[in-house]
Structure 1
Amino acid sequence: MSLAEEFQGVRNHSLKICENLITEDFSLQASEEVSPPKWHLAHTTWFFEQFILVPNDPEYEVKHPQFNFLFNSYYNSLGARTARNHRGLMSRPSVSEVRSYRAYVDEAMKGLIQKNDSGLNQLVILGMNHEQQHQELLLTDLKYNLWFNPLNPRVMDIGEYANEPQSNWISMKEGVYQIGYKGDSFCYDNELNSHKVYIHDFAIASALVTNGEYLEFMNDGGYDDPKFWHDEGWAWIKDQEVKAPLYWEKQDDEWFYYTLEGQKVIDKSAALAHVNFYEASAFANWKGLRLPTEFEWEVAQDQFEWGKRWEWTNSAYLPYPGFTVAPGAIGEYNGKFMVNQMVLRGASVATSPNHSRPTYRNFFHPNYRWQFMGIRLAKSL
């Protein structure tokens, strides 16, 4: 498949995600952490425009100069931008105008891709991967936004909950292991540089924690016992009055959760989702176990199946040895977020096709849980 075909395939997938939405869905923003579908469609287009077309195509004409203010996300070097919590207040431009904007930029991009410039091609591939990240956010943000609707809207089935196999322990020997991306294909700069890490003997679960297992923690008073929790986590559950994972609701002594396919009775055999780092750590402590480090996860990942949930690790999001921030606005992509966040490994049911690899480092603040975040347990030997 040519780069032009791959580019158009990624662009089309964003629109396909939205094919069952009604116009009113496109502007929903239920909290500052999530964004409306319309914003995602426009922002990913703005990325191609500002990072590729404007600097590299002298004939390209910016059709909507104000879009730079409306659809910049966090790139400070590219000027002022609308406040993140105001993205849902933009009734204009309309959904149809955003679609036209996408088509306008796509047409210009096709011409640039035909030049087959290796440097530009690498930027195009970065832009495609950036859009794939937003495709997952589009799904998870949409789920969060629709959750507040008492009608429990049904918009799509992405197979959120499937049976998890019986778990067993996979033992890994101590030694020096190579960590980080090795190869010539695309990766993010936070996966570089490949380096050696010493790891002690440990074991890791072959399967994810299930809803049924987590219910045992809840029924045993897990949310009421401070000894299982980090101090920040205990303060968080008390402040937010949390008693269950996100989207869970108890009705007449039975637990339900909201999905993009509507509200459903909890499947106890399915992999747990939508817990934050505090909850994952508390559950592990309750079990007398722990979360794996991101390095343990990486060296063991070929021993188990992964990809249903982003899996919390006990590793802070920090640069690898030799990490350098790229010049210009592209340098704002990862490096400036390497503080107060935890690493998740794997992928999820919302991750776009061809957008996962063993060295991929996702990262979020420990209180966030609206992504498909789950738990894989580990223990020292």
Structure 2
Amino acid sequence: MTDTVTERADAEGLRGRIATELERTRARTALLTEVVDDGDLMRQHSPLMSPLVWDLAHVGNQEELWLVRDVGGREPVRRDIDDLYDAFKQPRGDRPSLPLLPPGEARAYLATVRDKVFDLLDRVAFDSGPLVADGFAFGMIVQHEQQHDETMLATHQLRSGPAVLQAPPPPEPAVRLAEEVLVPAGPFVMGTDADPWALDNERPAHRVELPAYVIDAAPVTNGAYREFIADGGYDEPRWWSEPGWRHRQQAGLSAPLHWRRDGDGWAYRRFGRWAAVRDDEPVVHVCFHEAQAYARWAGKRLPTEAEWEKAARWDPGTGRSRRYPWGDDEPTSAHANLGQRHLWPAPVGAYPAGASPLGVHQLIGDVWEWTATGFRGYPGFAAFPYREYSEVFFGDQYQVLRGGSFGTDRSACRGTFRNWDYPIRRQIFSGFRCARDATAEQAHR
């Protein structure tokens, strides 16, 4: 009897958590789509991005497909729009010409779907199969919508016109950081088997052995990157890979996206406002090729994905891998710059409570960090619940990014979370940190 009561209490607690996350996420979606008029919602602000109204209806369509139809077994709400909002069938460049739901109709559709989802949530049994175990399908939908919220935030950064988003500035530095941190040789557990809402590409947990290496204590800053520019880094082919140099020439790259010359310095356009580039903030809006060129110029390299994760999760005191650099507790405003709480990266040293046991800072939030690793499945990978979430993207054409940005929500960010994109992309909130092999003396300390 006691076990039954406990199980009921656990189920009710999970229902409450899911409801809270669904509502919190929808509030962010509403904010991003209600601060502009209908014309702005329907407009394509960049060929790289969808019209905001496409993202709006797409998150509702995915919620309907997975929760209303698959989990709930209910009748479709709008089967007629499935193809319109299928990201694989509709390239971003074609989406403005589609017969998309206008904003009012899209919002009504989302509300209808959400009512059905809450009705389902009241009745679902969380032990009826792997799709709903621990609320996985609901967590997947929360993360999916938050990922599109970050995509919509990136669209806001690309739109022209007056500023419409408001947020306070991030905190000021609280500590002075070392330049680099030594990560000793040895094994660690990468990935997870235990996180109930972890996605298929984060699984399974597996042991990885790494030699000693050194990693930057913080992401590369604007000030450091400005030195690369001033030293002619964009004009020197030896720092660039062959595809990187080809892209740098074809795209005319000369500085991070959204930068412009401002007298003797640089200014950076943030969501419709120009401000002087601040030297102690992590550089953002650089592509993989730019990050790789900087690292070579600095006499370093980009970390592998495994090196990044060991620096972020490994606890030398216990030998275990934590969920986050600071431990297993959910992120708070003291740990990391996440969730659009601020609209740009925090200066380095702003989040001492979020540091890893080794003293590596700001691994979570602020900027997505490019790694040297192409996107592939871990040993023993199994696609779940569908191949199109991860498996169809495996290969050398995508580079892995880690850690999340100021626009990433806490539900879609953890020490095991993996993002990926083309190496030329820089409309995303991407930065990087560097690494290098440890010297013989360092390796034997």
Under a length normalisation based on structure 1, what TM-score does the superposition of the two structures give?
0.90
Question: Where do residues 81-120 of structure 1 align in structure 2 (5 Å cutoff)?
Answer: 81-90=89-98, 92-118=100-126, 119=129, 120=132
Question: Where do residues 208-247 of structure 1 align in structure 2 (5 Å cutoff)?
Answer: 208-247=219-258
In structure 2, the residue matched to 1:315 is 373
How far 1:2 moved relative to its partner?
A: 3.4
Aligned CA-pair RMSD = 2.0
Name the amino acid aligned to 2:436: K
How far 1:218 moved relative to its partner?
A: 0.5
Distance (Å, rounded) in 1 between the aligned partners of 2:281 and 2:73: 53
Question: Where do residues 201-350 of structure 1 align in structure 2 (5 Å cutoff)?
Answer: 201-301=212-312, 302=356, 303-306=359-362, 307-326=365-384, 330-339=386-395, 340-350=397-407
Going from structure 1 to structure 2, the CA distance change for 1:162 and 1:343 (only over 3 Å counts) comes to: farther
Task: Tell me, yes or no, if structure 1 residue 156 matches structure 2 residue 157.
Answer: no
Distance (Å, rounded) in 1 between the aligned partners of 2:435 and 2:177: 15
Distance (Å, rounded) in 1 between the aligned partners of 2:65 and 2:432: 38
Going from structure 1 to structure 2, the CA distance change for 1:305 and 1:261 (only over 3 Å counts) comes to: farther
How far 1:9 moved relative to its partner?
A: 2.1
Question: Where do residues 58-77 of structure 1 align in structure 2 (5 Å cutoff)?
Answer: 58-62=73-77, 64-74=78-88
Specify every segment of 5 or more residues in structure 1 that has no aligned partner in the other structure, as ranges. Answer: 75-80
Preserved contact between residue 158 and residue 349 of structure 1 (Cα < 8 Å): no
Going from structure 1 to structure 2, the CA distance change for 1:56 and 1:355 (only over 3 Å counts) comes to: closer
Preserved contact between residue 158 and residue 350 of structure 1 (Cα < 8 Å): no
In structure 1, the residue matched to 2:136 is 122
Distance (Å, rounded) in 2 between the aligned partners of 1:166 and 1:25: 42
Question: Where do residues 358-369 of structure 1 align in structure 2 (5 Å cutoff)?
Answer: 358-369=415-426
Distance (Å, rounded) in 2 between the aligned partners of 1:230 and 1:297: 21
Distance (Å, rounded) in 2 between the aligned partners of 1:161 and 1:372: 16
Going from structure 1 to structure 2, the CA distance change for 1:320 and 1:251 (only over 3 Å counts) comes to: same
Residue 311 of structure 1: SS of its match in structure 2?
strand
Distance (Å, rounded) in 2 between the aligned partners of 1:159 and 1:198: 42
How far 1:67 moved relative to its partner?
A: 1.6
Going from structure 1 to structure 2, the CA distance change for 1:102 and 1:296 (only over 3 Å counts) comes to: same
Query: Deviations along 1:13-55, whole A, 9 cap, x unmatched?
Result: 2112333222222123244431222111110100011122123
In structure 2, the residue matched to 1:27 is 42
Going from structure 1 to structure 2, the CA distance change for 1:92 and 1:24 (only over 3 Å counts) comes to: same
Name the amino acid aligned to 1:140: A
How far 1:133 moved relative to its partner?
A: 1.0
Name the amino acid aligned to 1:171: L
Going from structure 1 to structure 2, the CA distance change for 1:61 and 1:190 (only over 3 Å counts) comes to: closer
In structure 2, the residue matched to 1:39 is 54
Preserved contact between residue 161 and residue 271 of structure 1 (Cα < 8 Å): no
Name the amino acid aligned to 2:208: V
Distance (Å, rounded) in 2 between the aligned partners of 1:271 and 1:200: 27
How far 1:195 moved relative to its partner?
A: 0.9
Distance (Å, rounded) in 1 between the aligned partners of 2:384 and 2:393: 14
Distance (Å, rounded) in 1 between the aligned partners of 2:251 and 2:92: 22
How far 1:92 moved relative to its partner?
A: 4.4
Distance (Å, rounded) in 1 between the aligned partners of 2:401 and 2:169: 18
Name the amino acid aligned to 2:388: E
Preserved contact between residue 38 and residue 98 of structure 1 (Cα < 8 Å): yes
How far 1:8 moved relative to its partner?
A: 2.1
Task: Tell me, yes or no, if structure 1 residue 51 matches structure 2 residue 66.
Answer: yes
How far 1:91 moved relative to its partner?
A: 6.9
How far 1:103 moved relative to its partner?
A: 0.4
Query: Deviations along 1:225-248, whole A, 9 cap, x unmatched?
Result: 000001000000111111111111
Going from structure 1 to structure 2, the CA distance change for 1:372 and 1:222 (only over 3 Å counts) comes to: same
Distance (Å, rounded) in 2 between the aligned partners of 1:20 and 1:353: 23
Name the amino acid aligned to 1:124: F
Preserved contact between residue 46 and residue 155 of structure 2 (Cα < 8 Å): no
How far 1:175 moved relative to its partner?
A: 1.0
Going from structure 1 to structure 2, the CA distance change for 1:203 and 1:227 (only over 3 Å counts) comes to: same
Name the amino acid aligned to 1:338: F
How far 1:326 moved relative to its partner?
A: 3.2
Distance (Å, rounded) in 1 between the aligned partners of 2:409 and 2:182: 31
* Count of matched residue pairs: 367
Residue 341 of structure 1: SS of its match in structure 2?
strand
Q: Which moved more, 1:172-181 or 1:221-230?
A: 172-181
Distance (Å, rounded) in 1 between the aligned partners of 2:302 and 2:379: 23
Preserved contact between residue 302 and residue 434 of structure 2 (Cα < 8 Å): yes
Query: Deviations along 1:326-373, whole A, 9 cap, x unmatched?
Result: 36xx22111110121111110100011332111111111111111111
Q: Which moved more, 1:251-260 or 1:289-298?
A: 251-260
Name the amino acid aligned to 2:81: F
Name the amino acid aligned to 2:289: Y
Residue 366 of structure 1: SS of its match in structure 2?
coil
Residue 207 of structure 1: SS of its match in structure 2?
coil
Residue 302 of structure 2: SS of its match in structure 1?
coil
Query: Deviations along 1:131-150, whole A, 9 cap, x unmatched?
Result: 11111111012212x1xx3x
Going from structure 1 to structure 2, the CA distance change for 1:230 and 1:89 (only over 3 Å counts) comes to: same
Distance (Å, rounded) in 2 between the aligned partners of 1:53 and 1:87: 25
Distance (Å, rounded) in 1 between the aligned partners of 2:20 and 2:208: 39
